[in-house]
């Protein structure tokens, strides 16, 4: 039997505690061996819970450690690129939180280094692994509602303070890179690319005036290359969590709910009522963490590769450019050379 893949966790904030740590802990053939945090008492408690043998105050020391084969990066946004580059150059495989970087220049450098050192680089675009989204993707591939011509989506919640009270960096532009377009937008843009199997061609975005550098709300219109158009609403000021997609095709409409309620519903054109497809067992497997380990072991390209994370980031960048220019911004296809 092969030795388990040893995982190091950089940063012990809310996303590490609620997603990465329990995700890897439930995944066979891996072992959480090292943690990095500046909060020593907090780190010792988490290390004891997950059986990690090493605790580092500096993430740079962890990525150089011979005790880990792969790292998962849960640091503030501005450290995603530096930590990824350091880990790749130290021979580690990398799972990095979204957004993968502050801009496409950083993202391209990360992709090149992963290719250069022949290591897996995967972005934690976790909604791609949601069973409801997977089910919807399969239905669309089968032509359940015909070719999609338009859509409307919303991803909103009560804001970063409710999600992660200990994190003070979300509203610091230098460390976050932006507000809802960076925090929530990359989720929706990637999910739409997955559902439509298409690339965004052009973007126009608006935010309420007088908000300062960190936008709490944004409305984005997207045009895809195959012709689908629609809107995306993002907010940190909703009274509850909402994560919904409505896609309209020639033969009907498909709704996807990643929050509370029916996960997937299909409404055929000119027919009364809805059809609620069952989520089959294959919609739940593999998990994001199982997939990451499989990519390490087999050498396959992750479904949410660096290129996928960079494509979502490019839409956010174009949205910011649109807010500044007050016009549509085109997104040019870019190929990252090894």
Same domain, 134 and 278: yes
User: Distance between CA atoms of 69 and 90, rounded to whole angstroms?
Assistant: 10
Same domain, 218 and 72: no
User: Distance between CA atoms of 168 and 206, rounded to whole angstroms?
Assistant: 25
Same domain, 267 and 324: yes
Same domain, 158 and 67: no
User: Distance between CA atoms of 181 and 185, rounded to whole angstroms?
Assistant: 4
How far, CA to CA in Å, does 144 sit from each of 123, 138, 230, 278?
A: 29, 9, 19, 14
How far, CA to CA in Å, does 40 sit from each of 11, 35, 276?
A: 12, 10, 48
Establish if 307 belongs to a structural domain: no
How many domains does the chain contain in total? 2
Q: Look up residue 165 and give its DSSP letter.
A: T
Establish if 165 belongs to a structural domain: yes
User: Distance between CA atoms of 151 and 229, rounded to whole angstroms?
Assistant: 7
Establish if 197 belongs to a structural domain: yes
Establish if 106 belongs to a structural domain: yes
Establish if 63 belongs to a structural domain: yes
User: Distance between CA atoms of 331 and 198, rounded to whole angstroms?
Assistant: 13
- CATH number, domain of 181, equals 3.30.360.10
Same domain, 192 and 319: yes
CA pseudo-torsion sign 138, 295, 79, 169: positive
* Residue-number span of the structural domain to which 152 is assigned: 127-287+315-330
Query: 190: how many CB neighbours lie within 10 A of its CB?
Result: 24
Same domain, 84 and 191: no
User: Distance between CA atoms of 118 and 300, rounded to whole angstroms?
Assistant: 11
Residue 261 has a pLDDT of: 83
Query: 225: how many CB neighbours lie within 10 A of its CB?
Result: 13
User: From first to last of its 338 residues, what are the pLDDT tens digits of the chain?
Assistant: 579 999 999 999 999 999 999 999 999 999 999 999 999 999 999 999 999 999 999 999 999 999 999 999 999 999 999 999 999 999 999 999 999 999 999 999 999 999 999 999 999 999 999 999 999 999 999 999 999 999 999 999 999 888 787 788 999 999 999 999 999 999 999 999 999 999 999 999 999 975 667 999 999 999 999 999 999 999 999 988 999 999 999 999 999 999 888 999 999 987 877 899 999 999 999 999 999 999 999 999 999 999 999 999 999 999 999 999 999 999 987 764 43
Same domain, 81 and 140: no
Same domain, 134 and 259: yes
Which H helix or E strand runs over 330?
A: strand 329-330
Same domain, 192 and 248: yes
Establish if 71 belongs to a structural domain: yes
Specify burial of residue 27 (Cβ count, 10 A radius: 0-12, 13-18, 19+): buried
Using DSSP bridges, classify how beta strands 70-73 and 93-97 pair: parallel, antiparallel or unpaired: parallel
Establish if 336 belongs to a structural domain: no
* Residue whose pair of structure tokens reads 């960190």 in the numeric block: 214
What is the length of the chain? Answer: 338
Same domain, 131 and 112: no
- CATH number, domain of 104, equals 3.40.50.720
Same domain, 114 and 139: no
Whether the CB-CB separation of 166 and 13 falls below 8 Å is answered with yes
| Boundary residue ending a domain (125, 153, 183) | 125
Same domain, 201 and 63: no
Establish if 27 belongs to a structural domain: yes
């Amino acid at each position: 039997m092969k030795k388990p893949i040893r995982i190091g966790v950089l940063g012990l904030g809310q996303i590490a505690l609620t997603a990465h740590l329990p995700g890897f802990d439930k995944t066979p053939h891996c072992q959480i061996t090292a943690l990095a945090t500046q909060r020593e008492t907090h780190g010792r408690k988490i290390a004891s819970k997950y059986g990690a043998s090493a605790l580092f105050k500096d993430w740079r020391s962890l990525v150089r450690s011979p005790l880990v084969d792969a790292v998962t990066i849960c640091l503030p946004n501005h450290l995603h690129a530096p930590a990824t580059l350091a880990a790749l150059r130290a021979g580690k495989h990398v799972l990095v939180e979204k957004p993968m970087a502050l801009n496409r220049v950083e993202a391209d450098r990360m992709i090149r280094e992963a290719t250069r050192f022949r290591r897996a680089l995967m972005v934690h675009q976790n909604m791609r692994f949601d069973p409801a989204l997977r089910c919807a993707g399969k239905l669309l591939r089968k032509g359940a509602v015909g070719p999609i011509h338009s859509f409307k989506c919303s991803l909103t919640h009560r804001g970063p303070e409710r999600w992660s009270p200990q994190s003070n960096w979300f509203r610091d532009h230098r460390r976050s890179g932006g507000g809802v377009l960076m925090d929530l937008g990359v989720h929706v843009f990637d999910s739409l690319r997955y559902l439509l199997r298409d690339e965004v061609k052009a973007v126009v975005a608006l935010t309420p005036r007088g908000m300062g550098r960190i936008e709490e709300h944004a409305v984005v219109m997207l045009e895809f290359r195959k012709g689908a158009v629609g809107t995306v609403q993002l907010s940190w000021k909703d009274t509850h969590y909402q994560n919904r997609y409505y896609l309209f095709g020639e033969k009907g409409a498909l709704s996807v709910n990643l929050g509370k309620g029916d996960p997937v519903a299909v409404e055929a054109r000119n027919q009364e009522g809805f059809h609620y497809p069952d989520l089959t067992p294959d919609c739940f497997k593999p998990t994001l963490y199982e997939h990451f380990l499989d990519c390490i072991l087999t050498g396959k390209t992750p479904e949410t590769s660096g290129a996928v994370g960079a494509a979502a980031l490019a839409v956010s960048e174009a949205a910011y450019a649109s807010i500044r220019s007050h016009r549509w911004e085109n997104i040019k296809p870019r190929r990252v050379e090894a």
